[in-house]
Structure 1
Amino acid sequence: MLVLKFLLCALTSALAMKQHAPSGTMVDFTDAKVQGHLDALVRMAQSCVIKVRATPKDVRAYFTNSSPVSRSGQCFAACMLEQSDVVNHGKINRELLVHLASLVNGKNSRVVRKLNSVSRLCLDSIDGMSDRCQLASTYNDCLNENMIEFAFPLDIAEEAVRKMPFHLIQPNLPQEMRPANY
């Protein structure tokens, strides 16, 4: 979920999260620290949109934990994971992913415990892959499929998509698809 130089990306989509639960094991999206990480995730995604020329569908798929619908969607996932150093030179740094998730969720949280085992399992899904976009996207998809209960709430995913600078790479993008703040 999701995910990264800012940590949440460590969950980044690659891991993502859900509203705060009474047990304290889920992410509280009203927490200022979490909001800061979300803001950093959005900035990282904005950079990746430009680098890989991702479309709104690509970014929406990433933030809603859906499989990419295009090559640029796969490369968007790769960019996000590479910027967080979770993927480096075609290698997954599973320990960093778990560490980053623990910064937001706590070392002994349910999210981190599950991510620790799922991230290991997902390494098998990329065995033998050499294409960086396919490798990162497949790994991310595996995390998402196995961590579905921690998906970003849809309103947060849609807000992130609205903040993307699609107009910089697609000047003819219809007005309703352009971010409001650009």
Structure 2
Amino acid sequence: MLLFQIFGCLLPFVVGLRTQRSSGTLVDFTDPKVQGHLDALVRMAQSCVIKVRATPKDVRAYFTNSSPVSRSGQCFAACMLEQSDVINHGKVNRELLVHLASLVNGKNSRVVRKLNTVSRLCLDSIEGMSDRCQLASTYNDCLNENMIEFAFPLDIAEEAVRKMPFHLIQPNLPQEIRSSPY
């Protein structure tokens, strides 16, 4: 789930650009500022796809707030969080995560208030972990599970997956498989 780099932070996007499933939208996805952040997130994800050789399943899991199904999926989450500096040398910078989310959502927004609390709780889920991919994936999963009401709209998640350069790492992969949800 969560996560992003506006300026290099994926977590805030994943957290920051969520919408409520029931009533109303927390973020105006037509706002040029929000669109700019989404574009930055997609560029970061494209880089991570190449770096960790992520599959369409890996990226779809990340953008739909599902747990990774493979090691490359875990490492994709790590790449996204590390590029945003939310995780640096195995340490979570919770304050940066909250700050980045506040840039998109506002300092006193419901998203930021909840993220401030949840991000602290999720630190317990990674206590003692040393594997960078597992640590990032576990932290991201905890955020996703506890902030489910702010999940990315599915159409935006699918559009992000369609923009990934899977052909660069799997040149013979047919288009229908690259964009298949499974």
Q: Scaled by the length of structure 1, what TM-score is found?
A: 0.91
Distance 2:80 2:29 in 1: 21
Distance 1:94 1:59 in 2: 23
Q: Paired residue for 1:57?
A: 57
Structure 1 residue 167: Cα displacement: 0.3
- CA 1:15–1:73: 2 relative to 1, 3 Å: farther
Distance 1:44 1:117 in 2: 26
Aligned length: 178
Q: Paired residue for 1:46?
A: 46
Between 5-14 and 40-49, report the one with greater CA deviation.
Answer: 5-14
Distance 2:149 2:9 in 1: 16
1:1-182 to structure 2, matched below 5 A, reads 1-6=2-7, 9-13=10-14, 16-18=17-19, 26-178=26-178
Structure 1 residue 2: Cα displacement: 2.4
Structure 1 residue 28: Cα displacement: 1.2
**Deviation by residue 1:101-123 (Cα, 9 ceiling, x = unmatched):** 00000000000000000000000
Asked whether the equivalents of residues 78 and 137 of structure 1 are also in contact (C-alpha less than 8 Å), the reply is: yes
Structure 1 residue 12: Cα displacement: 3.4
- CA 1:20–1:14: 2 relative to 1, 3 Å: closer
Asked whether the equivalents of residues 18 and 151 of structure 1 are also in contact (C-alpha less than 8 Å), the reply is: yes
- CA 1:147–1:90: 2 relative to 1, 3 Å: same
- CA 1:154–1:72: 2 relative to 1, 3 Å: same
Which amino acid in 2 is paired with 1:164?
M
Structure 1 residue 52: Cα displacement: 0.1
Q: Scaled by the length of structure 2, what TM-score is found?
A: 0.91
